[in-house]
Chain A
Amino acid sequence: QKEVEQNSGPLSVPEGAIASLNCTYSDRGSQSFFWYRQYSGKSPELIMFIYSNGDKEDGRFTAQLNKASQYVSLLIRDSQPSDSATYLCAVNKDTGFQKLVFGTGTRLLVSP
């Protein structure tokens, strides 16, 4: 079992819809969870992080964490074609230092 699992996609949504990206992790001791966006040929850039159960909102993005189910998700409201990218989920297991374990990413395609 991979430590961090994501569906590779592509996930296709029409412009204006809600895109829902999911991630599961295997280590119950994981402390914090990160979502990165990576455009083709570019480097990952942080969208947001979450470490408490529940929802965390930042603009059109909402991260959801359920530690009991070992599940973290990212919702993108009012999806735009510019949101088309690969979304990487990353998990930090070490509270004293950040060593991230990344999923392989989900490719999102938003059609006009």
Chain B
Amino acid sequence: NAGVTQTPKFQVLKTGQSMTLQCAQDMNHNSMYWYRQDPGMGLRLIYYSASEGTTDKGEVPNGYNVSRLNKREFSLRLESAAPSQTSVYFCASSEVLAGDTRADTQYFGPGTRLTVL
């Protein structure tokens, strides 16, 4: 049981290049999330998917697109990378504990460290 996996672990892009960050979970969770973490800003939600087939914008969606490929996989795409997108990107998935949505618990992947030059 690997939990939440992300690829790649590190990536360096030039301004204007595109790339897709991959995320997969093997916990049979319905909900998946993409965050970015920047110094002094904390974790900020980019996009989320409440269930297979649905995606919604979070707090900072500009410059990103997502695809919920199936229940396991949720990818994040940067179409034209900018230096402002230099960050650490975390994928997470969540389950509901004991049938109570207040106790919905998110599990995070190891992160992708992205640098845009």
Point out residues on A near B: beta carbons under 8 Å. Answer: 4, 8, 31-32, 34, 42-46, 49, 51, 88, 90, 92, 95-100, 102-105
Q: Is B61 an interface residue (CB 8 A)?
A: no
- Contact status B107-A95, CB under 8 Å: no
Given contacts A100-B45, A104-B41, contact A95 B101 (CB under 8 A): yes
Q: Is B50 an interface residue (CB 8 A)?
A: yes
B55 to chain A, nearest CB (A): 13
Given contacts A43-B110, A43-B111, A44-B108, contact A96 B101 (CB under 8 A): yes
Tell me the nearest residue of chain A to B103, going by C-beta: A49
Q: How many residues of B contact A (CB 8 A)?
A: 23
- Contact status A92-B104, CB under 8 Å: yes
Interface of A is mostly: loop
A65 to chain B, nearest CB (A): 12
Given contacts A32-B103, A46-B106, contact A98 B94 (CB under 8 A): yes
- Interface positions of B from 87 to 116, Cβ below 8 Å from A: 90, 94, 101-111
Q: Is B12 an interface residue (CB 8 A)?
A: no
Q: Which 3 A-B pairs give the minimum distances between C-beta atoms?
A: A98-B104, A43-B108, A104-B42
Q: How far is the CA of A95 from the CA of B102 in the complex (A)?
A: 6
Chain A neighbourhood of B90, CB < 8 A: 43-44
- Interface positions of B from 13 to 47, Cβ below 8 Å from A: 31, 40-45
Can you list 11 A-B contacts (CB < 8 A)?
A4-B42, A32-B103, A34-B105, A88-B42, A95-B101, A95-B102, A98-B94, A99-B45, A102-B43, A104-B41, A104-B42
- Contact status A100-B106, CB under 8 Å: yes
Q: Is B48 an interface residue (CB 8 A)?
A: yes
A4 to chain B, nearest CB (A): 8
